[in-house]
């Protein structure tokens, strides 16, 4: 049965010339391009933690690869190969076909070959490892931000968290850190809900942007846990501080139509799962950044500044500091 499942996966693998030996032996044999460094990242998706129970199999397949490719994007690396560890409660061929369809759709878009993995029975859990290549000395690291850098973000952060808040409101569950106010308006139309849900279920890894930022950005991270929380990782690694202007955060039309200004700002500042890139670059690079936004076909917005302090401050329209109980998602948080 296990081998039946593996055969279904193997049928959909994207071919690559540098895969000397793929699925089927005890290990894959890969031929990295001469002189390149390998960039390796791994992320796990657990049902109920990383995607809502009942998420379509194809969306889980897409997202499992997307969150991993996003890590390569944040390093400026070019994706090449991946492995997949799949744990599922029963050998459900229909579910697996859906999963593989979503996974393969994104894999072929970025020419990533699935070269091996493991298939086991257990609670639904998906773990992917991606391997990419990057020119030595050009990777985008968290520890290279400098005082005086601009802070930029791609896309429209907050959409995925907005979708989750709407789902939780529909289920009669309060969002985990909603406080006294309810996030969802009573009558949010279907169109914005669908477009926010698409951003939660099928995030877009910013591979082209990450590659284009080599030699331009100083530091970079992908926003998986929340903008403030992830920017704080850059600050800690670089021994600098940052100030963010909340009014500068670009909101999608869908997010703006579904939430009041205050909830929207909280979702944008602290909501995770967007897989946008947050990066720092010197003010001298503003024109270069703007032109590569057009090139990469993604919106880039300057949202703040790196300073010589430490920690991240978020200022509202009146210049007052705003803080929320949680700056982002954490596993094993005390709550």
Q: Of all residues in this chain, which one has the CB nearest to Mg ion in the complex?
A: 118
Nearer to Mg ion, 118 or 321 (CB): 118
CB of 297 to ligand ADP, least distance (A): 31
CB of 106 to ligand ADP, least distance (A): 15
CA dihedral 329, 54, 74, 159 (to 10 degrees): -70
- 127 binds ligand ADP per the rule CB under 6 A: no
Dmax over CA atoms of the chain, in Å, equals 62
Cα 109 to Cα 66: distance, rounded to the nearest angstrom: 11
The answer to the question of residue 18 lying near Mg ion (CB under 5 A) is no
Place of tokens 């996030």: 183
Which two tokens mark 65? Answer: 């690869």
Choices 10-18, 19-27, 115-123, 135-143; region in contact with Mg ion by CB under 5 A = 115-123
Q: Is 25 a binder of ligand ADP (CB under 6 A)? A: yes
Q: Judged by CB under 6 A, which of 68, 70, 78, 119 binds ligand ADP? A: 119
Among 98, 18, 11, which residue's Cα sits nearest to residue 61? 98
> What phi and psi values does residue 141 have, to the nearest 5 degrees?
-110, 165
How many residues lie near ligand ADP (CB under 6 A)?
Answer: 13
Angle between helices 190-201 and 57-75 (to 10 degrees): 60
Any bridge partners for residue 238, and if so which? none
Shortest Cβ distance from residue 118 to Mg ion (Å)? 4
Please say which residue, 2 or 143, places its beta carbon nearer to Mg ion: 2
Identify which of residues 3 and 332 has a Cβ nearer to Mg ion in the complex.
3
- With binding defined as CB under 5 A, does residue 118 bind Mg ion? yes
Considering the complex, what minimum distance in angstroms separates the CB of residue 29 from ligand ADP? 11
Of the pair 35, 122, the CB lying nearest Mg ion is at 122
Specify the stretch interacting with Mg ion by CB under 5 A; choose among 24-32, 58-66, 90-98, 116-124.
116-124
**Binding to ligand ADP (CB under 6 A): which residues in 4-23?**
6, 9, 23
At residue 48, φ and ψ (nearest 5 deg) are 85, -15
Residue 43 and residue 127 in contact, taking contact as beta carbons nearer than 8 Å: yes
Helix (H) / strand (E) element for 117: namely strand 113-121
For residues 327 and 15, what is the distance between their CA atoms, to the nearest angstrom?
41
Site of tokens 């530091």: 219
Backbone φ and ψ for 241, nearest 5 degrees, come out as: -115, 175
Q: Is 190 in the site for ligand ADP (CB under 6 A)?
A: no
330 binds Mg ion (CB under 5 A): no
Part of the chain binding Mg ion (CB under 5 A), chosen from 117-125, 128-136, 138-146, 286-294: 117-125
Q: Please tell me the distance from the alpha carbon of residue 258 to that of residue 254, in angstroms, as a whole number.
A: 6
Q: Minimum Å distance from CB 112 to Mg ion?
A: 21
- The contact set with ligand ADP (CB under 6 A) reads 6, 9, 23-26, 84, 86, 114, 116-119
- The contact set with Mg ion (CB under 5 A) reads 118
């Amino acid at each position: 049965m296990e081998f039946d499942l593996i055969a279904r996966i193997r049928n959909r693998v994207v071919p690559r010339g540098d895969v000397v030996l793929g699925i089927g032996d005890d290990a894959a044999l890969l031929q990295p391009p001469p002189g390149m460094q390998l960039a390796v990242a791994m992320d796990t998706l657990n049902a109920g933690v990383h995607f809502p129970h009942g998420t379509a199999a194809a969306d889980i397949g897409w997202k499992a690869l997307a969150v991993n490719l996003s890590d390569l994007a944040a390093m400026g690396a070019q994706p090449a190969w991946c492995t997949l560890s799949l744990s599922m409660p029963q050998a459900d061929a229909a579910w697996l076909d859906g999963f593989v369809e979503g996974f393969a759709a994104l894999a072929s878009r970025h020419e990533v070959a699935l070269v091996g993995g493991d298939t086991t029975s257990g609670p639904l859990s998906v773990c992917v490892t991606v391997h990419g290549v990057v020119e030595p000395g050009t990777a985008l690291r968290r520890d290279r931000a400098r005082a005086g850098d601009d802070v930029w973000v791609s896309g429209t952060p907050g959409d995925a968290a907005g979708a989750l808040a709407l789902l939780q409101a529909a289920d009669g569950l309060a969002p985990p850190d909603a406080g006294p106010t309810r996030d969802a308006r009573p009558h949010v139309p279907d169109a914005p809900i669908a477009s926010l849900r698409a951003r939660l279920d099928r995030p877009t890894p910013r591979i082209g942007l990450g590659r284009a930022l080599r030699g331009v950005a100083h530091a970079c991270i992908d926003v998986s846990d929340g903008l403030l929380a992830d920017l704080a990782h850059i600050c800690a690694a670089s021994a600098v501080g940052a100030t963010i202007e909340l009014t500068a955060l670009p909101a999608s039309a869908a997010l703006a139509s579904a939430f009041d200004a205050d909830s929207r700002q909280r979702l944008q500042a602290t909501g995770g799962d967007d897989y946008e890139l947050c990066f720092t670059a010197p003010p001298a690079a503003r024109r270069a950044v703007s032109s590569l936004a057009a090139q990469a076909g993604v919106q880039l917005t300057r949202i703040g500044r790196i300073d010589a302090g430490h920690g991240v401050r978020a200022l509202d329209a009146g210049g007052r500091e705003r803080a929320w109980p949680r700056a982002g998602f954490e596993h094993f948080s005390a709550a």
